[in-house]
Amino acid sequence: MDLSVVIPLYRSENTITPVIEEIREELARIKMENYEIILVNDCSPDNVLQMTKGLAAQDSRIKVVSLAKNSGQAAALMVGYHYASGEFIVSMDDDYQTPGHEIGKLIIFGKRGFGCSFRPVRGAETKSVPPVRQRCQPKNVRNHGGQAKVFVYKQFLRHAQICAG
């Protein structure tokens, strides 16, 4: 597996289908076929679990994991990372905070040997982003604000431990 895209889900029955379509379109555009999309239901009260199970039944590259209780975005991401089998992992939001059409740019950056995460500051240009983020954020990735887009190597996560709080 080349790439795993991990998306935590909460109250996203109206947004997740177009997010997945945007990811599929971008991965088709860059000719990446060996990928998986891992959807982690964080005990969402809407119909997102049934909806995503239907999507998974239609596409074997979509995997659905459901948490027994609402544990928050960070916990849902860690569960998704546990199930990820891709060499690289991109985490995204379920509501367009992290645009799928920029996955290709992150993959190019990652293949150059960088594993990174960054959180652009809403409305900030690259010159106002702290230097550590400037080194990590590719210059051609647009700043959309919102949650972090994370691109990491699976081998790094093999050494990370998940702590129960």
Report the CATH number at residue 64: 3.90.550.10
The confidence score (pLDDT) of residue 48 equals 97
| Closest to 77 measured CA to CA, from 41, 36, 108, 115 | 41
Q: What is the block-wise mean pLDDT of the chain (165 residues), using blocks of 10 residues?
A: 94 95 95 96 97 97 97 93 90 86 79 58 40 41 45 56 47
For residue 137, give every residue at least 6 positions away whose Cβ sits within 8 Å of its Cβ, in sequence order, or none: 116, 118, 120, 126, 129
In a domain, 164, yes or no: no
The confidence score (pLDDT) of residue 130 equals 38
In a domain, 18, yes or no: yes
The confidence score (pLDDT) of residue 87 equals 85
Task: Give the Cα separation of 104 and 14 in Å (integer).
Answer: 25
| Closest to 9 measured CA to CA, from 46, 53, 40 | 40
In a domain, 64, yes or no: yes
Q: What's this model's pTM, rounded to 2 decimal places? A: 0.76
The confidence score (pLDDT) of residue 80 equals 94
**Number of residues that make up the chain:** 165
Domain of residue 108, residue span? 3-158
In a domain, 52, yes or no: yes
The confidence score (pLDDT) of residue 113 equals 67
The confidence score (pLDDT) of residue 98 equals 81
In a domain, 163, yes or no: no
Number of domains in the chain: 1
Enter the tokens of residue 123: 């409305």
In a domain, 165, yes or no: no
* Contact yes or no for 81/162 (Cβ under 8 A): no
CA distances (Å), 128 to each of 120, 121, 122, 141, in order?
10, 9, 11, 15
Task: Give the Cα separation of 125 and 10 in Å (integer).
Answer: 30
